[in-house]
Chain A
Amino acid sequence: MMRAERVCLSVQSQMSIEPLSVTAFTLVNALGLGCSASLQALREARSGLTHCDLPGIALDTWIGRVPDLESAPLPDGLQAFDCRNNRLANLTLQQDGFDREVERVRAGYGPERIGLFLGTSTSGLEHTEAAYRRRTLSGNEDLGDDLRFDQTHSNFSLGAFCRTRLGISGPTQVVSTACSSSAKVFATASRHLLSGLCDAAIVGGTDTLCSTTLHGFASLELLSPHPCQPWGRDRRGISLGEGAGFVLLERLPPSPSRPALLGYGESSDAHHISSPHPNGLGAALAMRAALDRAGLPPEAIDYLNLHATGTPANDRAEDRAIAQCFTRPPRASGTKGWTGHTLGAAGVTEAVICLLALKQGFLPANLNRGVQDPDLALDVLETGLEFSPQIVMTNAFGFGGTNASLVLGYPR
């Protein structure tokens, strides 16, 4: 054993972080391709949810499906990565000039100085399911060469695909922590940037609809038979969706005209694998840590994008958590009534919705709430609001008791 001379511990955990500038962002989900499609649907009160029409899935549920993914192949030379999840990533990178912005930072910093931190919950599982179905029908022993496990199914498939497609060679990892995955990548990216391992970071996530999640949530009796009703008295569960989003973070001097990642907070429930802590203790820890890192009091938050999945237990736990963190709750809404719950992509989807709120001065409604739940203290926006927030927060919580909160806004 070696022994250092002195113990000298400083408390770092609650220090505020340097704001990281957001220089590009994009998303694709059931509302459409790119930021303007999502913004327009949010303004026009048009949900992306439709009754489940996926082939071979006989469930009475509503889904947020991205149209025409089946006919959106990958570019030449990248076909080995072909699966629904990577198709969605590929389609999303083409929106809002995101590809061009990546080209700019590649040229500016060098490909080895760009980090890539992506979240997914199920990766290319849909592709593997199809191989099992084909095997059952054919009676073959093997799943067939078209499985291409490393490029489709593996957790890192999304990372390997995006790294290759974007020509990035900096630090790369895929975070897979269920529904907090693509919120936690903002924390991962922040740490890698502040440690000097990269100068710019692409963060984001992708998750696509598959039989396992649809039937899995059905088996847990967590799928709503109606379009989900987050925060409503009559909420019966979630509506699943698929989506992707990407955000480019750079270590640039703060500018009053450019939104930034101001803080993040993470925690664990230490309670149960698939139920949240009933009093939202873990969620409250994450929100407080995000505020501390941003160096902001709770009253600085102008808008809170809720995790609000629409299950009775989740929304109740989040409500309890918010009551512990905010004496005067901010304007708030959950947006899964628009997009469905995009699982591993929910974090970045809702972070991009927050960035749209900051840039466009519009707060989305909490669609489909219906009758207010007398058991929930926080009231949510029933209609969209033309309002320009300066500082916003978004929550993402997941199975395994994993929690993440992000604070985004204009640095002061």
Chain B
Amino acid sequence: MIPPILIRSIGVIAPGLTDWTTTAAILRGEIQYQPAPLPPLAPLLLPPNERRRATPPTRLAMEAARQAIEPIAADLTHLPSVFASSDGDLSLIDRLCEGIAQQPVALSPTLFHNSVHNAAAGYWSIGSGCMSPSTSLAAGDATLSAGLLECATQLATECDEILLVAYDLPGPPTLDIHRHFETPFACALLLARDRSQTALARMALDPITAPDPQGEDETHALSPALESMRAGNPAARVLPLLQAIAQQRAGKVRLPYLDGAVLSVDLGFQPMPSEAPC
């Protein structure tokens, strides 16, 4: 089993979910969830010329990331990151393929360089001035779990803190028929090894490789809109975990992993026994 990790802070952005404080209140049932269009997202961390070029997925990912680092005053220039997204920027793929299908081919250089899956990570590193390692990964509907495992292995072997950003958003109608995302959703978790100072919760991850007959957890006792958000976006699969954190409910949360298997996350809220002096 890999060593437990801490969640130090959380960022969330989705229609009707604009930050962790509001999201936590909704997940505790204190406020009713009201779907609302996403607010305009300005990636203020970027210099103006790069800000203009940033695409909707990059804006979404950077907003969640910004929220997660804000309360912590983390040293951004040395913070490794993991960007987890199943399908990145489908709107851009649509425009590129439309351009390719034309005669003569019409393709803009900015469109092309923004098409790499690590565009969001690239803009984040430019905005934060961070030269630490960053990776961009995908694992279909298991992308969130793959991202959590990647962070846990980095914390176990090479760093003290790491930023996980999970995001996906609906593509244009042409592609949405083939890969449907219900709503845009991004979540950022600032994760740390188990000896940092403060945290919202502690997690022990256990990837179960056999298919789980019980399947993944759903968001309990919430509006159908939130449950359909969870089921309709790989990044929003984090909602049962966020709900358990908001409700301070210790115990296991099952997140979807590959081929019907689950990633079991054992949540705890008590501090670890103090470490021996070092």
Task: Tell me if chain B binds chain A.
Answer: yes
Closest chain-A Cβ to B268's Cβ sits at a distance in Å of: 9
Decide if A220 is an interface residue (CB 8 Å cutoff): yes
- Contact partners of B123 in chain A: CB under 8 A: 273
Most buried by A among B1, B109, B118, B210: B118
Q: Does A107 contact B (CB under 8 A)?
A: no
Task: Report A380 CB to chain B, min CB distance, Å.
Answer: 27
| Interface pair B156/A195, CB less than 8 Å apart | yes
> What is the CA–CA distance of A147 and B210 in the complex, to the nearest angstrom?
29
Q: Is the CB of B258 within 8 A of A270?
A: no
Cβ of B278: which chain A residues have Cβ within 8 Å of it?
Answer: 6, 8, 10
Given contacts A6-B274, A172-B146, A195-B153, contact A271 B118 (CB under 8 A): no
Q: Is the beta-carbon distance between B152 and A195 smaller than 8 angstroms? A: yes
CB–CB B109/A216 < 8 A: yes
From known contacts A1-B200, A12-B158, infer whether A399 and B139 are also in contact, taking CB-CB under 8 Å.
no
Cβ B93 vs Cβ A128 within 8 A = yes
Q: B86's contact among A155, A175, A211, by CB below 8 Å, is which? A: A155
Query: What is the chain A residue whose CB lies nearest that of B268?
Result: A2
Residue of B nearest to A268 (CB): B125
Mark B115-143 against chain A: 1 for CB-CB distance below 8 A, else 0.
Answer: 11111011101101111111111111001
CA distance A143 to B143 in the complex (A): 25
Given that A176-B117, A176-B118 are known contacts, is A212 also in contact with B96, CB under 8 Å in the complex?
Answer: yes
A310 at interface (Cβ–Cβ under 8 A)?
no
Q: How far is the CB of B172 from chain A (nearest CB, A)?
A: 11
Residue of B131, B139, B152, B177 near A156 (CB, 8 A) is B139
Select the residue from A128, A129, A170, A173 with max chain B CB neighbours within 10 A: A173
Q: Are B259 and A219 in contact (CB under 8 A)?
A: no
B52 at interface (Cβ–Cβ under 8 A)? no
In the complex, per-residue mask of B200-219: 1 if CB is within 8 Å of any chain A CB, else 0: 11100001011000000000
Contact between chains at A4 and B88 (CB < 8 Å)? no
B22 within 8 A of A: no
How many residues does chain A have at the interface if contact means C-beta atoms less than 8 Å apart? 80
Name A2's closest neighbour in chain B (CB-CB): B271
User: B200 to A191, Cβ gap below 8 A?
Assistant: no
Q: Does A204 contact B (CB under 8 A)?
A: no
Cβ–Cβ contact B113 & A220, under 8 A: yes
Q: Which of B1, B138, B160, B175 contacts A149 (CB 8 A)?
A: B175
Q: Chain B 16-42, CB within 8 Å of chain A: the 1/0 string?
A: 000000000000000000000000000
Cβ-defined contact, B274 with A192, below 8 A: no
Does A267 sit at the interface, judged by CB under 8 A?
A: yes
Q: What residues of chain B lie closer than 8 Å to A400, measured between beta carbons?
A: 116, 118-119, 121-122, 125, 136
A7→B209 contact, CB < 8 A: no
Residue A169 is within 8 A (CB to CB) of chain B in the complex: yes
Q: Are B122 and A154 in contact (CB under 8 A)?
A: no
Q: Does B195 contact A (CB under 8 A)?
A: yes
A323 to chain B, nearest CB (A): 18
Residue B221 lies at the interface, judged by CB distance under 8 Å to chain A = no
Question: What chain B residues lie within 8 Å of A230 (beta carbons)?
Answer: none
Q: Is the CB of B197 within 8 A of A4?
A: yes
Task: Report B251 CB to chain A, min CB distance, Å.
Answer: 16
* Of A36-44, A86-94, A130-138, the one touching chain B: A130-138
Contact B158 A191 (CB under 8 A): yes
Hey, which chain A residues are within 8 Å of B114, CB to CB? 273
- B residues 78-117 touching A (CB-CB < 8 Å): 86-88, 93, 96-102, 105, 107-109, 112-117
Q: Which residues of chain A are near B274, meaning CB under 8 Å?
A: 4-6
Q: How far is the CB of B168 from chain A (nearest CB, A)?
A: 11
B126 to A133, Cβ gap below 8 A? no
Does A358 lie at the interface of the complex (its beta carbon under 8 Å from any beta carbon of B)?
Answer: no
| Nearest A residue (CB) for B234 | A156
Contact across chains for A176 and B177 when beta carbons are under 8 A apart: no
- Residues of chain A with a CB closer than 8 A to B146's CB: 171-173
Which residues from chain B contact A187 at a C-beta distance below 8 Å?
133
Do residues A143 and B125 form an inter-chain contact, with CB atoms below 8 A? no
CB-based nearest B residue for A175: B137
Which of chain B's residues 194-251 have a Cβ closer than 8 Å to chain A? Answer: 194-202, 207, 209-210
With contact pairs A143-B174, A170-B209, A281-B131 given, residues A177 and B156 touching in the complex (Cβ less than 8 Å): no
- Interface: B73 (CB within 8 A): no
Residue in contact with A12 in the complex, picked from B126, B157, B275, CB distance below 8 Å: B157
Kindly identify which residue among B53, B115, B118, B131 contacts A270, using a CB–CB cutoff of 8 Å.
Answer: B131
Q: Which residue of B lies closest to A177 (CB)?
A: B118
Q: Is the CB of B112 within 8 A of A9?
A: no
Docked-complex contact A13 and B118, CB < 8 angstroms? no
Q: Is B261 an interface residue (CB 8 A)?
A: yes
Given known A9-B160, A128-B93, A136-B101, contact A216–B178 (CB-CB < 8 A): no
A132 to chain B, nearest CB (A): 4
Residues on A with C-beta less than 8 A from B108 are: 219
Other contacts beyond A6-B275, A281-B131: 5, CB < 8 A: A9-B160, A9-B195, A136-B101, A154-B86, A268-B130
Could you list 5 examples of A-B contacts with CB < 8 Å?
A169-B210, A211-B105, A268-B134, A270-B125, A270-B130
